Amino acid sequence: MKKFVNDPANFVPEFMAGVLAANADLLEGNLEFQMIKRKTIDASKVAIVQGSGSGHEPAHVMAVGPGMLTAACQGPVFAAPPVDACYETIKAAATDAGVLVLVNNYQGDRMAWDMACEMAEAEGIKLKQFIINDDVAVQDSLYTVGRRGVAGNFFVMKAAGAAAEAGADLDAVYAVAEKVNANVRTMGVALTSCIPPQKGDVIFDIGDDEMEVGVGIHGEPGRERTKIKPADDITKLLYDAVQSDLPFSSGDRVALMVNGLGGTPPAELYVVYNKAAKLAAETGLTIARNYVGEYCTAIEMAGVSLTMLKLDAELEELLAAPAETACRIF
């Protein structure tokens, strides 16, 4: 393993301290609870929190900022945040307007946030919890009952964040999250595994000439292991799975994301986007907004995921609204 790591046990707090140091104007945190929050929280607006395992950066603590999350917490790499971190994050973000708790569909995350929400509600904090599950690859997997929550998470945060910023109440912000999740679909593919710092080794073996189709963002198995193909063929595999699932159909306006899983260079992401855009045109889709870059990664895994979100006027306006976060690529 070759990584920029000191003591692997301190990896998460050290990277979080770096995020705070680089964004001292915007963010503050409490690293005892692996939590980062906005410096200024408007008490009249709905707060949005999220938290999951580390290793998916810029999700989730790096998505805190005006127009996005109010606060977020991290677990260890690929492990759910502890309940006390979730609870403190809700408390730190809580406003009079209430808190929307966004949870990706993994058993560990769900149980931790369920408990934290119950404790926070007992304290009189108004909140609603919403579960994100956009991955079309598999119905159940290693860590989930039902579909996994992956890169589509970005669109839920962005749209709900914009709605909250605009002053929508908790029910309305929740409805936006619901609408995005109902209309967003993702599938990913891995060319290599990744190395969690504390494990120090790859989490699965894959041949030089193989790919894992439908991989999860923790390296969970997907639909099948096959021989690697040219980029256009891989892109078509992903596109067809995503497009047919909703389905997206002629005349739809969409947001299309090509998300790098951490070890794939930008140029390769654009090779994928080039083909995805052509396929979308063939289906008769209009790409109203595109996102090419890293939004939800699996450490240094070489791979991509393709996400499409079907838009309506409301969602298009919410995605276009300004937002500012620690990773300024949003």
Partner 1 sequence: MSTLTIADVEQAIDITCDTVIRNEKYFSDLDGLAGDGDFGTSLATGFKVIKADLPTIDKSAVGAMLLKISMICSKHVGGSSGPIWGTGFMRAGMASKGMTEIDYATLVAMVGSALEGIMARGGAKRGDKTLLDALIPIHETMQAMDGSDLKAVLAAVAGVADKAIDETRNLVAHRGRASQVGERSANTPDPGIVGIATILNDWCKHYGVDFVPNAPELNR
The residues of the shown chain that bind partner 1, judged by CB under 8 A, are 82-84, 87, 107, 111-112, 114-115, 118-119, 122
In the chain, which ranges are E strands? 27-30, 35-38, 47-54, 71-77, 99-104, 127-132, 184-190, 210-213, 224-227, 253-260, 286-293, 303-310
Pairwise CA distance, residues 187 & 261, whole Å: 12
Beta-sheet pairing, 224-227 with 210-213: antiparallel
**Shortest spacing between CB 202 and partner 1, in angstroms:** 22
Q: Which is nearer to partner 1, 51 or 82 (CB)?
A: 82
One DSSP character per residue, 188-250 reads EEESS----TTT-S-SS---TTEEEET--TTS---SEEEE---HHHHHHHHHHHHHHHTT--T
Q: Is 56 a catalytic site residue?
A: yes
Q: Which is nearer to partner 1, 114 or 268 (CB)?
A: 114
Q: Which is nearer to partner 1, 14 or 114 (CB)?
A: 114
What residue has token string 């929307």?
Answer: 100
Pairwise CA distance, residues 41 & 245, whole Å: 38
The number of C-alpha atoms within 13 Å of 1 and in the hemisphere containing its C-beta is: 18
Q: Which is nearer to partner 1, 21 or 122 (CB)?
A: 122
Pairwise CA distance, residues 46 & 159, whole Å: 13
Sequence-distant (≥ 6) Cβ neighbours of residue 35 within 8 angstroms: 29, 51, 61, 71, 72, 73, 85, 88, 89, 92
Pairwise CA distance, residues 298 & 306, whole Å: 14
**Shortest spacing between CB 212 and partner 1, in angstroms:** 23
Q: Which is nearer to partner 1, 114 or 314 (CB)?
A: 114
**Shortest spacing between CB 119 and partner 1, in angstroms:** 6
Dig out the tokens for 80 from the structure. Answer: 């759910």
**Shortest spacing between CB 294 and partner 1, in angstroms:** 30
Please tell me which residue in 37, 38, 218, 310 is annotated as part of the active site.
218
Q: Which is nearer to partner 1, 87 or 291 (CB)?
A: 87
The number of C-alpha atoms within 13 Å of 185 and in the hemisphere containing its C-beta is: 18
User: What's the distance, CA 215 to chain centroid?
Assistant: 15
Pairwise CA distance, residues 13 & 216, whole Å: 25
Q: Tell me if the bond preceding 60 is cis, omega within 30° of 0.
A: yes
User: What's the distance, CA 151 to chain centroid?
Assistant: 4
Please tell me which residue in 38, 56, 60, 91 is annotated as part of the active site.
56
Q: Which is nearer to partner 1, 66 or 81 (CB)?
A: 81
**Shortest spacing between CB 75 and partner 1, in angstroms:** 10
**Shortest spacing between CB 145 and partner 1, in angstroms:** 9
Q: Which amino acid is at 285?
A: L
**Shortest spacing between CB 116 and partner 1, in angstroms:** 9
Q: Which residues are catalytic?
A: 56, 218
